[in-house]
Chain A
Amino acid sequence: MTATTTAPVAAPSVHTQKRQPSGRMRAWATRAPLLPALIFMIAVTQLPFVATLVISFFDWNSLYPDARSFTGFGNYTEVLTDAALRKSVWTTILLTVGVVLTSLVLGLGLALLLDRKFRGRGLVRTLLIAPFLVVPVAAALLWKHVLYNPEYGLLNGLLHYVGGPQPDWISNTPLLAIEASLVWQWTPFMMLILLAGLQSRDHQQIEAARVDGASGWQIFRYLTLPHLRRYLELGALLGSIYIVQNFDAVFTITSGGLGTANLPYTVYQTFYQAHENGLASAAGVLVVIGSIIIATFALRVVSSLFREEVGRA
């Protein structure tokens, strides 16, 4: 411990040395290693988005390339007034909120269970992580055919033992069916983040609270939960960013049918099957606006955790 506390004192002085005023050549020499990655990212991610933005202002069906014309915000009004597209916005919200909240609550429960010592804890952790490590399309196929199949799926097979009903899961509750498969995959993700949060608690403080006679619930409510708040936020926001974009599960389990088409699936269908480039781009821009709203909050949380790390040095 003494060895580690002496190290930081030396480190900053070296860093300040390097920030001494230097010539333009020196500045470029420090910047040079960064440039390939930076230029690559701008070229591959920012330019296409600018192109999407431009296309979104044109009435352009790729089956009739000569009829391309500028429509201003025409595509946006069409997207926002189209009943199917509006429904897909709603579906995206339902899917994201449902999956994120459920997996967050389950993940918290599992993280609390795994935070205590018991026989075989490592193995249980591995078992719990496994669902996250199944290829998303494979996981969706597993749920669609092997678990949900109304005639010989595992769910109805198990229900058969207790004499329960034999529902057709996907036809009866299509959106819930997709959500359940995604919750199964994303709960481990939430658990890992929250477990890391639990393990970074100040255990001396908890010990002191216990000595002072605080109950387990009081410690959880007034010490653990406030500490976990930002980890919960981080899990919710990162989960939202990934699930807003979900395509694999919707595409595999229902192929966007039965009212489960979310925005990414709708954008895919609009240009890949309906060839409406302008409309698809406008819908794409709307997805981006939604993501930016979530991302602004996400960046704020990440940067506060990040600054805490830097500040600790």
Chain B
Amino acid sequence: MSATAVQARPSSTTSADPTPRRPKGRGLGLVAWLAGIVFFLPIAWMALTSFHSESDAATNPPSFAAPLTLDGYREFFGAGGGASPWPSLINSTVASLASTLLVLILALPAAYALSIRPVKKWTDVLFFFLSTKMLPVVAGLLPIYLFAKNTGMLDNIWLLVILYTSMNLPIAVWMMQSFLSEVPVAIIEAAQIDGAKLPTILTRVVAPIALPGIAATSLICFIFSWNELLFARVLTGVVAETAPVFLTGFITSQGLFLAKVCAASLVVSLPVLAAGFAAQDKLVQGLSLGAVK
């Protein structure tokens, strides 16, 4: 888990090229392309349908070459007199950004205490964080709901910020622990000799070196917060509803509304798609809680 484990990896993958040079290689490449297209097809179709008129979107057989229009997006953003999605999009942005920031503030010092200056029994602490991630949401949902109801915190976006922070903190601690262990200890020792205190060390020495890892961690926390439905569904109402809760308004059919549904799904998914592709290389490390690099 120290510098060696991480640095030794790339050299072993680049030194020997695993690709067998056999004629069937080309055929399998084609199969891979086909699989990629099949998996992407629903998303491509969603994007195309979102630019069709409602009547063109609801034909059988499907009309691939129908004229393009922005009506689906206009409808989604409330042109037809429906509720505007903007408050929910803003709520989701606030909840995701604020909880990600809070996660970073809590996780960075914790990861420091678990990697650079490890406390005693640091692996036990690390596994405690992991075990909380395995506690299902329904385990605490009711008491949290009752607590929120009695303290007037229902329909309050900051309650979601706290809950999303607890949801993402274990992932962040695990990821950052593995990123921080790549920071050379000698640099930190030098800073300490120069009289730097912990906050200075974290912000001026550790953070710049671990920046790519911290960025990937933030993106993954952002994705999980943005996607969350169960807490938001139970704990928010008209004021603090998030984008996924807004989307649940499309569960029951409303006549011809496919273009609108596609536009809505695409708009709400865009931040996640962007964040996910930005964090692509570190995605698997985050999702496997740092177990796989």
Contact = CB atoms under 8 A, between A and B. Distances in A.
A280 B131 CA distance: 23
Interface stretch (A68-76, A77-85, A93-101, A266-274): A266-274
A48 B143 contact: yes
A225 interface: no
A45 B29 contact: no
Contact of B251 (A18, A136, A184, A252): A252
B151 interface: no
Contacts of A310: 1-2, 5
Q: For this complex, into which size category does the number of interface residues on chain B fall?
A: 35 or more
Contact of B169 (A37, A160, A201, A206): A37
B119 to A, nearest CB: 5
A142 B265 contact: yes
10 contacts: A115-B18, A120-B33, A134-B265, A134-B269, A152-B57, A152-B60, A157-B61, A203-B13, A251-B251, A284-B141
B32 A113 contact: yes
Given A33-B113, A138-B265, A157-B62, A55 B142 contact: yes
A20 B162 CA distance: 38
A135 B113 contact: no
Given A116-B29, A196-B284, A238-B287, A138 B268 contact: yes
B293 interface: yes
A201 B12 CA distance: 9
A258 interface: no
Contacts of A118: 25-26, 28-29, 32-33
B205 interface: no
B53 to A, nearest CB: 13
Contacts of A176: none
B113 A203 contact: no
Given A116-B20, A129-B276, A196-B284, A34 B125 contact: yes
Given A36-B106, A46-B132, A264 B138 contact: yes
A9 to B, nearest CB: 9
B95 interface: no
Interface in A42-71: 44-49, 51-52, 55
Given A129-B276, A136-B244, A291-B135, 19 more contacts: A10-B186, A15-B185, A33-B109, A45-B135, A110-B32, A134-B273, A146-B45, A146-B46, A152-B62, A158-B62, A187-B39, A192-B287, A207-B16, A252-B251, A255-B251, A292-B134, A302-B130, A309-B1, A313-B5
B110 A38 contact: yes
B40 A251 contact: no
Nearest to A216: B20
B226 to A, nearest CB: 7
Contacts of B61: 157, 160-161
A30 B117 contact: yes
Nearest to B189: A14
A133 B277 contact: yes
A18 B122 CA distance: 14
A1 interface: yes
Nearest to B247: A137
Given A113-B31, A152-B258, A160 B109 contact: no
Contact of B37 (A127, A141, A187): A127
B191 to A, nearest CB: 14
A116 B29 CA distance: 8
